[in-house]
Amino acid sequence: NTAPEDIDIDECMNSYTHIYSPDLLQHGCDTVIASRNLEKLTEAAKKLISATGRRCLPIAVDVRKPETITAAVEESLKTLGHIDILINNAAGNFLCPVTSLSFNAFRTVMEIDTMGTFNTSKVIYDKWFKDHGGSIVNISATLGYRGQALQVHAGSAKAANDAMTRHLAVEWGPSGVRVNTVAPGPISGTEGYRRLGGQIAETAGAYRSIPLQRAGNKTEIAHAVLYLASHAASYVTGAILVADGGAWLTSAND
C-alpha cells in the first residue's frame, strides 16, 4: 500500500519508475489533449512534449458542441494518422446542496459529463473506431453509489455514464471497441481535490476512515487507466474499475 511517485501540481513528473513494460502502448504514444482553453492546453502540450519526447497536439473543444469534436477528430487524424485510445475525462463539478442548485447548474454538469462523453465517443466511433477498433476509458466517480451529499449533479451524471459504458460496450464490441471506466476516489493534486474540499478532509483526518487510509494520487489513476486502455485488458469491456482505496464501502460523505 505504498503510493507510487507523483507530483502534486500541474507539472510533469521529474522521474518515473515503470510498473508495466515501457512499450505497453507500442513504445509510448502521441497524444491529443482537448479542452475549452487553448492557452492552457498549449502550455500543457509543451510540457508533455519535452517530458516524453512524443508529439502532443492541443485542440480547443467544448464537448457540449459536437461540431467542435468533429473538427478536432478530423485534425487529429490528419496530423497523427490514427486514433487508438479515447479517454473521456471532461467534467464539471462543485459542492452544492439541491436547494441552491439552479436548473441551469444541474443541466450544465449533465451536459459536460454525460452528453460530453456520449458526443465524443460517438464522433470517434463514426470517424475511426468503427473500421479500426479502439479502446475507450471513461473517468467516473463513486458519488452516486451511496448518494453523497452536495453532489446530486455530478453523481447523477456519472451514474448515467456508467450505464453508457455498458451500452456502448455491448453495441460496439463486435467492431473491436472496448469501453471501460475508472471510478477514482479522492485524488491529491487534482482540480476535483481542490474544488471538493480534499485538503480540508485530509487535514481533518477524514481519510483515515478509508480502508487504505489515505487519498490516492494521479499516478495511481494513470496506472488504472493505462491497464484498461492497453492490450493488458484485451478481454475486458463494460467494466467499472473502482480505484478509491475502498473509500465508498465505508463512508458516503468523506
In the complex, which residues of this chain contact ligand HXC (CB under 6 A)?
91-94, 96, 102, 104-105, 108-109, 112, 141, 143, 154, 186, 191-192, 195
Q: How far is the CB of 235 from ligand HXC (least distance, A)?
A: 28
Residue 1 cell numbers, joined: 500500500
**Cβ closer to ligand HXC: 51 or 96?**
96
Sign of CA dihedral 68, 114, 189, 24: negative
Q: How far is the CB of 96 from ligand HXC (least distance, A)?
A: 4
**Cβ closer to ligand HXC: 70 or 108?**
108
Distance CA 177, CA 183 (A): 20
Residue 84 cell numbers, joined: 487508438
Q: What angle do CA 117, 119, 120 make, to 5 degrees?
A: 70
Q: How far is the CB of 231 from ligand HXC (least distance, A)?
A: 28
Q: How far is the CB of 67 from ligand HXC (least distance, A)?
A: 17
- Burial classification of residue 80, based on how many CB atoms lie within 10 Å of its CB (0-12 exposed, 13-18 middle, 19 or more buried): middle
Distance CA 91, CA 135 (A): 20
**Cβ closer to ligand HXC: 7 or 105?**
105
Q: How far is the CB of 153 from ligand HXC (least distance, A)?
A: 8
Q: How far is the CB of 136 from ligand HXC (least distance, A)?
A: 18
**Cβ closer to ligand HXC: 80 or 87?**
87
**Cβ closer to ligand HXC: 171 or 191?**
191
**Cβ closer to ligand HXC: 197 or 238?**
197
Distance of CA 91 to the CA centre of its chain: 8
Beta bridge partners of 184: 243
> Residue 105 is inside which H or E element, if any?
helix 103-110
Mode of pairing for the β-strands spanning 31-35 and 240-243 = unpaired
Residue whose Cβ sits closest to ligand HXC: 92
Distance of CA 211 to the CA centre of its chain: 23
